[in-house]
Structure 1
């Protein structure tokens, strides 16, 4: 067993399914106002794992996660023998059993290694990084960290939404599908970005969930319950406040001043919400790194999609901080990166 002080981001890969679907296509199919989507959500395009016209499933989560993992491994110059463990965060596994992470390892040719699947929403990718960082620093292993979601499988793209409740309608325009992956190791090679800190804490004691995704079985599959329920008002009120708390807690733990921060990766709820959060955080010297307006809210893929954009601009000595808030049971999450 080899212990190390830090874990390092060696490489990264992402996967988005199909062509982007813009607001005009979405509005026409769903029978909603294009202007409402643009003003209320502020997201311009998103990607779906299902054919938008026919509803046919073209990719599942394992397909997207394996594609992202393959790209991350190739960028690191690693074959399957170079990966010691896999950690995956998702809110939308393909099946309850087997765990989707094990389908992913099969597609990647990985075997005889530990695998972990964490069931969580927007914080799941950060939780996966947290566990992977612990494994790397305590054992010296090299691991593959994956985050992804296929949200569209919970939505009926062919139903009449004229009478849909706002808590249901918002999900049809907010979410997209995708996956991301990173190779995390004990040495500053490849991208040579140190993962300096990870924050992962549930804070929802006694609070009503801000988002619920139902899982229907044989007994209740004909239920009239909404598959996804979003308390958007509670999210609008709570997420900006929690984002500020996460930011200042991480800066305090790291001993970084706001002026030292070169990049901010804010929560990626929607184009409108993200813009509001960035304005509230008021970090004039930190460059915002966002993707949600182009990709949609694709859950656990988002931190990887943001980090991919970050790596294209990050220079030696620069620092970045990512903030993620999960509204399902109110989880504070985030991580800090420093380019060597």
Structure 2
């Protein structure tokens, strides 16, 4: 399996921290430095909350860019795998709307409902169906629209009345979509780099969620949900994720190294949703990653958190696209995609040998 190309879509103009400070109040300097997000993109107008695009439209735009870079027509796509936790509708799934927008009358469509780990899981699912000959060409997309929940926190109110934990959520998240075109390839000889290896686990089966999106589900009667302070809400366990998140990351990293037979020194690009964030990388040594290994890992990290924020299912494909188009990821590189997700403390990892030549700059 080869990744032929990638694509990305970020809605609207970037929203800087000064804009959010005016709308929902400031964060302490140390907290703002800790999350490291300097700008993000939203599908909503931050001033009014009006929607300017949606999850399926962003996914389609990212897909079109990936197909254009691959020099492929949409009609060549046989398998479409999408991941999102914020679909336009509960049903039909986002992937079917992408199919519609691309003009595909018939196409295999599968959707993963997840956050950060979803795109990695989706890519592995597609990889397996390409490897066994079921399909030859696949399009994998991760897309997320979180801003409608964020704007609702502050619209129509006094910015200084917004609770600090809600401000942290508003500053942290962004919207976007990333896509990748995958093609089945010839079986590699024994002397070639190791084949792709995948691993995923949920480590939070006995823990309360690190992140919970409440509303719009079946946890309570609709009439009861409508009586809540907000119809939908994001709830973060900030203390829990800071303490347990590094353990999940280190567990995922060790699992991937064990399964692939790779050493940290062998990884040319480790693509993460938020690899350099201070709140994410603290306490790694306590979690089992030595200071030396941490330093080695830092040399290979590819991420773009400062520019896009935490974008859920879109995070890894957006970082992958940024790494490839900037020339950070080049042919022959051993690439590790590794995502962790706070919702129930999951990780998903996939190794790749990169083949796509760096695209020409626009």
| Fold shared per TM-score above 0.5 | yes
> Counterpart in 1 of 2:51?
57
Query: What are the superposed Cα offsets for residues 49-98 of structure 1, whole Å, 9 maximum, x if unpaired?
Result: 11122221101111100000011111112112200011110011111122
* 1:294 aligns to 2:271 (yes or no): no
Match of 2:346 among 326, 331, 338: 331
Q: Partner of 1:121: helix, strand, or coil?
A: coil
Selected match of 2:229 from 221, 224, 227: 224
Which residue of the other structure, out of 99, 113, 117, is the alignment partner of 2:111?
A: 117
- Say yes or no: does 1:320 pair with 2:335: yes
CA shift in 2, pair 1:165/1:269, >3 Å: farther
Moved more, 103-112 or 163-172: 163-172
Q: What is aligned with 1:215?
A: 215
Question: Offset at 1:195?
Answer: 7.1
Which residue does the alignment assign to 1:151?
A: 146
Moved more, 37-46 or 60-69: 37-46
- Where in structure 1 are there 5+ consecutive unaligned residues? 1-6
Please state if 1:236 is matched with 2:242. yes
- Separation (CA, whole Å) in 2 of partners of 1:290 and 1:276: 17
Could you tell me which runs of 5 or more consecutive residues in structure 2 were left unpaired when the two chains were aligned.
187-192, 356-362
1:12-40 CA distances to partner (integer Å, 9 max, x unpaired)?
10000111111111111112247355234
Q: Which residue of 1 aligns with 2:296?
A: 284
Which moved further from structure 2: 163-172 or 63-72? Answer: 163-172
Indicate conservation of the 8 Å contact 2:36/2:305, yes or no: no
Task: Give the equivalent residue in structure 2 for 1:78.
Answer: 72
Asked if the contact 1:46–1:175 (Cα under 8 Å) also holds between the matched residues in 2, the reply is: yes
Q: 1:266–1:277: 8 Å Cα contact kept in structure 2?
A: no
Match of 1:187 among 185, 188, 212: 185
Provide the rounded CA distance (Å) in 1 between the counterparts of 2:195 and 2:115.
21
Q: Distance in 1 between matches of 2:272 and 2:59?
A: 23
Which of 31-40 and 167-176 deviates more?
31-40
Indicate how the Cα distance of structure 1 residues 58 and 13 shifts in structure 2: closer, same or farther if over 3 A, else same. Answer: same
Q: How many residues align?
A: 330
SS of the residue 1:196 aligns to: coil
**How far apart, CA to CA, are the structure 2 residues paired with 1:277 and 1:74?**
42
- Cα offset, 1:165, TM superposition: 4.3
Q: Is the 8 A contact 2:198 2:350 kept in 1?
A: yes
State how far apart, in whole Å, the 2-side matches of 1:337 and 1:228 are: 33
**Cα distance change of structure 1 residues 41 and 160 upon mapping to structure 2, 3 Å threshold:** farther
1:41 and 1:270 in contact (8 A); partners too? no
TM-score scaled by length of structure 1:
0.89
Paired position in structure 2 for 1:178: 176
User: Cα RMSD over matched residues?
Assistant: 2.4
Structure 2 CA distance for aligned equivalents of residues 254 and 57 of structure 1: 43
